[in-house]
Chain A
Amino acid sequence: MTAAVALNSVSKVYGHGPRALLALDRISLAVQPGEFVCLVGASGCGKSTLLSLVAGLDRPSAGTILVGGRSLSGDAGRSQAPGLMFQDPALFPWLTVAANVELPLRLRGVPRPERQRRSAELLDTVHLGEFGRSRPHELSGGMRQRVALARTLALDTPVLLMDEPFGALDAMTRDLLHDELERIWVERKLTIVFVTHNVREAVRLADRVVLLSSRPGRVVWEQPVDLPRPRRIDSAAAATLAAEITDRLRTEVARHGG
């Protein structure tokens, strides 16, 4: 089976000469179709860099990245690039909520009636069906992040990349969005690569947790999460596993000097 995302010895260097910074060091990782992988690491471990590379927003200095078995280079590859969500919803303030969700479709040349139908459908999926005509600033943080999710889903890519998408939200809202994301992941048979520094969140969501070291980012350890779904972030089993992973993470952080 072709991996949904395959990184082969990917490195990323910023800058040149003696001041060059090695952000990612020969990372190899294969994400299977339908898999939910969480990348966990201390800040500065290059998690966001990694997602930018997979999203095709940046190029690796060495190594190859295949999404659905294909390279991201060139115009054809670029249209294959997975959708990426950030901690900031990054909605366009000059557009209504519905127009934000429609924009990816519009950029692909989908005709207006079809666009409107799809965006209404997507907003229903994230339970914001009635907010299409609102402006982003009229919504709460959690709602904005749902709109961002709907907009990313409008890209219709089988792979979804998420860069600490719920990092700025309060715990209650985050719990709700975990449930939603899990439901959408199952319904749409998505492959998700989710970056977080919150080990509990990783255990709540992931099929597999991948631990990255800091400066340079390297894959240091992997942990499958076999807990039955639906999971609760505060269940005893999840807490035990999270504690184990956290210990492991601490050792790594200590070894690499944070």
Chain B
Amino acid sequence: MAADLVLTDKKETSGRDALETAVKRRPPSRAARIWAGVWPKALAVAIFLAFWQIVVWTGWRPDYLLPGPAPVFQQLGHDLTTLDLWRAIGTTMQRGVAGFALAAAVGLAVGLAVARSRILRSAIGSMITALQTMPSIAWFPLAILLFRLTESAIGFVIVLGAAPSIANGVIAGVDYVPPILLRAGRNIGAHGIKLYQHVIAPAALPWIVAGLKQGWAFAWRSLMAGELLVIIASKPSVGVRLQFAREFADASSMIATMIVILVIGLLVDVAFSSADRRIRARWGVLDQAGR
């Protein structure tokens, strides 16, 4: 990368150290950075839309089953002006955030306990990974038996889907704290809970964020599955919209709703990625591509 080199020269250090000072890259302007991030994505979306349109033109399925991008986006544009869609998004996001918060609390607590205790680790360490591989939809029959068609049934499955990933993130984070940092921490007087507070927790943070990010993906999938299966009559939600669109054979509306699901998933992912990037920048472990 041909970035400008900025040499810092401090009077109070010797010349050698001034030369040794890290050479910093001047950060590119904000607009350039955004453009660099956006254009590959925009191109990918354009290619996908073109592909979709071509499939529609071939007449593989009739228009009322597989509408082209134009009617779908028209429908989406219309839906976005209605209160119904926003209320549905509101319900879904509320469930998602509440379920994810509970999953995060459970995952952090379990992860920390397993990372600390050798007995717990041999007892449930591998079970956490086993739980992670269980498709969340397989939990629903049990959830519906236990909680009937309620919010709790959905919450139950979200927590079971997301907590194992979060717990695994915590366990990996604690396991991979460099031993030298632990020794340095203990030497400067961090013992017991203070060692966790000042050394282990911050050192494990990148892994914990990765676990949370993966946990969110699982939570979101569980939530969508839940909303398709556990339909609560009085509550419009994104999943319910999907189900109703199918029942009324309203393909445009269905695909429009799918786009909404996709966009929400993407936005949350962007939030996690930017947190991850900030941490890595602070640590100086940003990779060469600047991402």
Known contacts A92-B202, A135-B284: A83-B22 contact under CB 8 Å:
no
The residue that B283 contacts in the complex, of A94, A106, A176, with Cβ under 8 A, is: A94
Per-residue interface assignment for chain B, residues 259 to 291, with 1 indicating a CB less than 8 Å from any chain A CB and 0 otherwise: 000000000000000000001001111000000
**Contact flags B10-23 to A (C-beta < 8 A → 1, else 0):** 10111011001110
The chain A residue sitting closest to B189, CB to CB, is A107
A142 touches B203 (CB 8 A): no
Q: Known: A93-B283, A130-B12. Contact between A86 and B21, CB under 8 A? A: no
Q: Chain B contacts of A104 at CB under 8 A?
A: 188-189
Shortest Cβ gap from A64 to chain B (Å): 20
A256 interface residue (CB < 8 Å to B): no
Q: Once bound together, how far apart are the Cα atoms of A95 and B202, in whole Å?
A: 9
Chain B residues, CB < 8 A from A103 = 188, 190, 198
Does A69 belong to the interface (CB within 8 Å)? no
A173 at the binding interface (Cβ < 8 Å): yes
A139 in the interface, Cβ–Cβ < 8 Å? yes
CA distance A217 to B285 in the complex (A): 39
Q: Which residue of B lies closest to A84 (CB)?
A: B187
Interface pair B205/A151, CB less than 8 Å apart: no
| Cross-chain contact B16 with A176 (CB below 8 angstroms) | yes
Name which of A129, A131, A155, A172 has the most chain B CB atoms within 10 A of its CB: A131
B interface footprint on A63-95 (CB within 8 Å = 1, 0 otherwise): 000000000000000110101101010101111
Interface residue? A29 (CB, 8 A):
no
At the interface, yes or no: B26 with Cβ under 8 Å from chain A? Answer: no
Instruction: Check if A172 sits within 8 Å of B188, measured CB to CB.
Output: no
Indicate whether A140 reaches chain B with its CB closer than 8 angstroms. yes
Choose from B10, B22, B24 the contact partner of A140 (Cβ within 8 Å).
B22
Contacts A94-B282, A143-B21 given; indicate if A107 touches B13 (C-beta within 8 A). Answer: no
Residue of A nearest to B194 (CB): A107
B19 to chain A, nearest CB (A): 8
Contact B22–A139 (Cβ < 8 Å): yes
Residues of A within 8 A of B98 (CB): none
Contact segment of B88-96, B135-143, B177-185, B247-255: B177-185
Contact indicator B187/A142 (Cβ below 8 Å): no
Decide if A55 is an interface residue (CB 8 Å cutoff).
yes
Q: Which of B17, B190, B198, B283 has the most CB of A within 10 A?
A: B17
Interface extent on B, as a size class?
Answer: 20 to 34
Interface size on A, residues (CB 8 A): 41
Are B183 and A86 in contact, CB atoms less than 8 angstroms apart? yes
The yes or no answer to A226 lying at the interface (CB within 8 A) is: no
> Is B217's CB within 8 Å of the partner chain A?
no
Residue from the list A52, A92, A136, A143 in contact with B199, Cβ < 8 A: A92
Q: Mark A103-142, 1 if CB is under 8 A from B, else 0.
A: 1101110000000000000000001111100011111111
A131 to B17, CA, bound (A): 12
Looking at the assembled complex, report how far the CB atom of A173 sits from the nearest CB atom of chain B, in whole angstroms: 7
Whether B186 is near chain A, meaning CB under 8 Å from some CB there, is: yes
- The answer to the question of A57 belonging to the interface, with a C-beta cut-off of 8 Å to chain B, is yes
Question: For the complex, what is the distance from the CA of A9 to the CA of B65, rounded to whole Å?
Answer: 86
B191 at interface by CB-CB < 8 Å: yes
Contact A94 B202 (CB under 8 A): yes
Which chain B residues border A86 with CB–CB below 8 Å?
180, 183-184
**CA of A78 to CA of B195, assembled, Å:** 14
Determine which of B24, B178, B189, B190 lies in contact with A138 in the assembled complex, contact meaning CB atoms within 8 Å.
Answer: B24
A107 contacts across to B, CB distance below 8 A: 188-190, 194, 198
Q: How far is the CA of A52 from the CA of B10 in the complex (A)?
A: 36
Contacts known (A138-B21, A139-B22, A140-B22); A57 close to B186, Cβ less than 8 A: yes
Chain A residues with CB under 8 A of B283 = 93-94, 135, 137
Residue B14 contacts which of A57, A127, A131 (CB distance < 8 angstroms)? A127
B181 touches A90 (CB 8 A): yes
Bound-state Cα–Cα, A138 to B13, Å? 15
Residue of A nearest to B202 (CB): A94
Residue of B at shortest CB range from A75?
B191
Whether the Cβ atoms of B284 and A137 lie closer than 8 Å is: yes
Known: A93-B284, A140-B17. A155 touches B188 (CB 8 A): yes
Once the chains bind, are A139 and B21 in contact (CB under 8 Å)? Answer: yes
Interface pairs (18), CB distance under 8 Å: A57-B183, A57-B187, A78-B191, A90-B183, A92-B184, A93-B283, A94-B202, A103-B198, A107-B198, A108-B189, A127-B14, A135-B282, A135-B283, A135-B284, A155-B188, A155-B189, A172-B16, A176-B14
Which 9 A-B residue pairs are closest in the complex by CB-CB distance?
A137-B284, A140-B20, A90-B184, A104-B188, A138-B22, A107-B189, A93-B283, A94-B202, A90-B180
Besides A93-B282, A94-B283, 9 other A-B contacts (C-beta < 8 A): A86-B184, A90-B178, A92-B184, A94-B279, A95-B202, A139-B21, A140-B17, A151-B188, A176-B16
B interface residues, Cβ below 8 angstroms from A: 10, 12-14, 16-17, 20-22, 24, 178, 180-181, 183-191, 194, 198-199, 202-203, 205, 279, 282-285
